[in-house]
Homo-oligomer: A and B are copies of this chain.
């Protein structure tokens, strides 16, 4: 394996979702890549993220398995370790990728210093891709023994379900772990300083999920901060309301910090991480960044998508870099699932005049499949441009919501009107038919009132919003 300096077309620092996408993509196009990794191949997603969490959520659905949490948690680790070993094997045997074990530091001039078991080596190449990822933001709870403070990096190593698990942070990680640990028998208290769970989603999705979590036995404490712990009793004191009693373990899920320490000397860093443009270029020529270390792409699929763009920019630079980047959906694999795509309500309010848009919603409980499958909550909500029916944003809450969303994602990317969606035929009875019902509702609210809708469209489509900015919605 040639590892001398100068042999490589690119050096990729970090073998997580973003780094692997770039390394594998470049290697497939005939480039020689040095892939530097200090920890395990696969990064957070494979080892301490999506894979173990989704495996835990899946297994915990089975009443027989969840009766034995230690065995279930061991099974989660076995799946995770099997995938990690397979990915390690695949990467190390990929033609064109040289795996360099060690910790990398980037200096100006694309000089990468790797410190590993076998000493220090300096590598350079025409392209350096920063994919150093992120780490859990630290939660300071005075009095809490370090052994009781978990993050996503340690929770999957638990030997058993805690009796009382306090989860601080009601974002995607927090709500998914709340569902999973409630299922396997933990008493779960979910605490957040925000005024709703899943604050990145639409408020109505937060409301539906919160009601479902309560039904599943999760205690939710919003607008609440954990301020201290009593190491003797396990009680957690908060800045308002009663303390949380006898907490065995605290999961800190309060966000991520980009790992910029070893690269900040070479590239411009903003509060969210390494500054990049839409194609992953940093402030330094030939240096790119992808994934959690940037401010823009904090999900595995986002890192993959950005990684693909970097591969194109490096290896196929003659392809014109035109067209809007594709929409990046979000999904949370709770019960019910929550999935959404497009700008959220505050972003829409900045970009569009509210009267240029129409909000549509169909409750799954009112559909025939919702009836047969006993769906009590869940909905498809779509925001579209009036008159034209172009879809701006969509949220789905319900059974396999994340697998219902792609139709709407494609419609957003390809600018397909709800009037076109209305013409397509859904198999009966499916949950996806609720998307057809949303399109029907749009047609009913638009076609009989064309003059009024056209007037509203003409008046507000390019109008200044109440905030005084100029809008373009189509």
Interface residues of A (CB under 8 A from B): 17, 45, 50-51, 54-55, 57-58, 63, 79, 83, 299-302, 304-305, 326-331, 339, 368-369, 371-374, 399-400, 402-407, 409-411, 413-414, 416, 420-421, 423-433, 435
Contacts and interface: CB of A to CB of B under 8 A. Distances in A.
A329 B433 CA distance: 12
A50 B430 CA distance: 11
A421 B304 CA distance: 15
A430 B410 contact: no
A433 B361 CA distance: 25
14 contacts: A51-B429, A54-B369, A55-B372, A301-B425, A304-B425, A304-B428, A331-B428, A331-B430, A399-B400, A400-B400, A403-B430, A406-B407, A410-B416, A410-B421
A371 B424 CA distance: 32
B411 A410 contact: yes
Q: Which of A63, A368, A427 has the most CB of B within 10 A?
A: A427
Task: Determine chain A's interface SS by DSSP, over half rule.
Answer: helix
A403 B433 CA distance: 9
Contacts of A302: 425
Contacts of A339: 427
Nearest to A49: B428
Nearest to A416: B414
Nearest to A373: B58
Given A57-B372, A79-B371, A300-B429, 11 more contacts: A17-B428, A51-B372, A54-B372, A301-B428, A326-B423, A326-B424, A329-B425, A329-B427, A406-B426, A407-B410, A414-B420
Tell me how many chains of this kind the complex includes.
2
Contact of A327 (B373, B399, B410, B425): B425
Contacts of A424: 326-327, 406, 409-410, 413
Q: Which of A55, A300, A373, A410 has the most CB of B within 10 A?
A: A410
A82 to B, nearest CB: 8
Contacts of A328: 425
Given A304-B428, A427-B331, A368 B404 contact: no
B372 A429 contact: no
Given A54-B429, A426-B301, A403 B405 contact: no
Q: Which of A51, A327, A406 has the most CB of B within 10 A?
A: A406
A50 B368 CA distance: 9
A411 B420 CA distance: 12
A424 B301 CA distance: 11
Contacts of A400: 399-400, 403, 431
B374 A58 contact: yes
Contacts of A429: 50-51, 54, 300
A428 B329 CA distance: 9
Contacts of A17: 428
A431 B405 CA distance: 12
Contact of A403 (B63, B301, B404): B404
Nearest to A368: B51
Contact of A326 (B373, B402, B404, B425): B425
